[in-house]
């Protein structure tokens, strides 16, 4: 299982939110590039980034920070938040991103997903952020009337290969991921599922490995020291960790 340390960008800084509330943002790193390099130094092999300002406003807002990370960090990086057009997707991939994540755009504009998958294949992922079982959009501010499993099946039918699933109520809470909901989406579609939201300790990583998840995103638990990145990577590989 792949481990994705998370860097959420707001006003050019690394922040963490609590249950997706922008008013709860806490700065955890002044320099996204340095934060990314610190993760690499700890053994990171992948990186997950979100432009929170972009998710809220509908277009990329932290491009300077993203550019800086891409220039200095040479591991695969995936990015979501405010990506709503083919031109933006192409621009970001040309800058060196490994994968772009569509969220609001995927729900509001399925033809865009279809065209993006046709053109860019596995470099397109879908972020499904759920609140009470329904897909939330626009920086998690609005909930739709579409159940997350139904939406996942729609994306699978289009040809999407990777889905990042987040239970918003768990995000940033250190209470553990929603294993039931995450397991359900993993069982219902053939897409690679990356679990996100609420990781609290290494036992969560072990459980997700047992559930045959493709990946896990870890944010607050890394910044708070609740999870060692090196240990998480080791467990993700199925190798007992030796400190």
Residue at 133 is within a domain? yes
The answer to whether residue 202 sits within a structural domain is yes
Query: Catalytic one among 8, 51, 53, 167?
Result: 8
Radius of gyration of the chain (CA): 16
* Tokens representing residue 56 in the block: 């809220």
- The whole-number pLDDT of residue 57 equals 84
For the whole model, what pTM was predicted?
0.94
With residue 16 as reference, give the H or E element that holds it.
Answer: strand 13-18
In a domain? residue 71:
yes
Q: Is residue 206 part of a domain?
A: yes
Q: Which pLDDT value is given to residue 56?
A: 84
Tell me whether residue 8 is one of the annotated catalytic residues. yes
Token output for 25: 């943002």
Tell me whether residue 205 is in a domain: yes
Determine the pLDDT at residue 31.
95
Q: Is residue 176 part of a domain?
A: yes
Write down the pLDDT at residue 19: 66
For the chain, the domain total comes to 1
Q: Where are the beta strands (DSSP E) in 90-141?
A: 99-102, 124-131, 134-137
Range of the domain at 133: 2-236
pLDDT for 59 equals: 87
Report helix, strand or coil for 101: strand
Q: How would you classify the pairing of strands 124-131 and 134-137?
A: antiparallel
243 inside domain: no
Catalytic residue among 51, 53, 129, 171: 129
> Are the C-beta atoms of residues 136 and 129 closer than 8 Å to each other?
yes
CA distance 204 to 192: 18
What string of pLDDT tens digits covers the 243 residues of the chain?
Answer: 999 999 999 999 989 876 666 666 788 878 999 999 999 999 999 999 999 999 888 889 999 999 999 999 999 999 999 999 999 999 999 999 999 999 888 999 999 999 999 999 999 999 998 988 899 876 556 678 899 999 999 999 999 999 999 988 787 777 889 999 999 999 999 999 999 988 999 999 999 999 999 999 999 999 999 999 999 999 999 887 776
Q: Using CA atoms, how far apart are residues 179 and 129, in angstroms rounded to an integer?
A: 14
The number of helix segments (H) and strand segments (E) in the chain equals: 11, 12
The answer to whether residues 85 and 109 touch, using CB atoms and an 8 Å cutoff, is: no
129 catalytic, yes or no? yes
Q: Has residue 241 been placed in a domain?
A: no
CATH number reported for the structural domain that contains residue 125 in this entry: 3.20.20.70
């Amino acid at each position: 299982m792949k481990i994705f340390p998370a860097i959420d960008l707001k006003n050019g800084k690394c922040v963490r939110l609590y249950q997706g509330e922008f008013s709860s943002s806490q700065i955890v790193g002044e320099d996204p590039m340095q934060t990314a390099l610190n993760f690499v130094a700890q053994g990171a092999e992948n990186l997950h980034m979100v432009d929170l300002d972009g998710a809220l406003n509908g277009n990329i807002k932290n491009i300077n920070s993203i550019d800086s990370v891409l220039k200095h960090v040479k591991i695969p990086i995936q990015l979501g938040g405010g990506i709503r057009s083919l031109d933006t997707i192409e621009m970001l991939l040309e800058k060196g991103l490994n994968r772009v994540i569509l969220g609001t755009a995927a729900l509001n504009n399925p033809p865009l997903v279809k065209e993006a998958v046709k053109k860019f294949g596995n470099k397109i992922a879908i972020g499904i952020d759920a609140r009470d079982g329904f897909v939330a959009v626009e920086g998690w501010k609005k909930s739709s009337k579409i159940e997350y499993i139904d939406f996942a099946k729609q994306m699978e039918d289009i040809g999407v290969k990777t889905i990042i699933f987040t239970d918003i109520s768990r995000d940033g809470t250190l209470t553990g991921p929603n294993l039931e909901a995450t397991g359900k989406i993993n069982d219902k579609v053939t897409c690679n599922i990356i679990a996100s939201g609420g990781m609290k300790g290494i036992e969560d990583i072990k459980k997700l490995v047992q559930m045959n998840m493709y990946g896990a995103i870890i944010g607050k638990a890394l910044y708070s020291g609740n999870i060692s990145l090196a240990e998480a990577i080791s467990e993700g590989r199925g190798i007992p960790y030796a400190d």
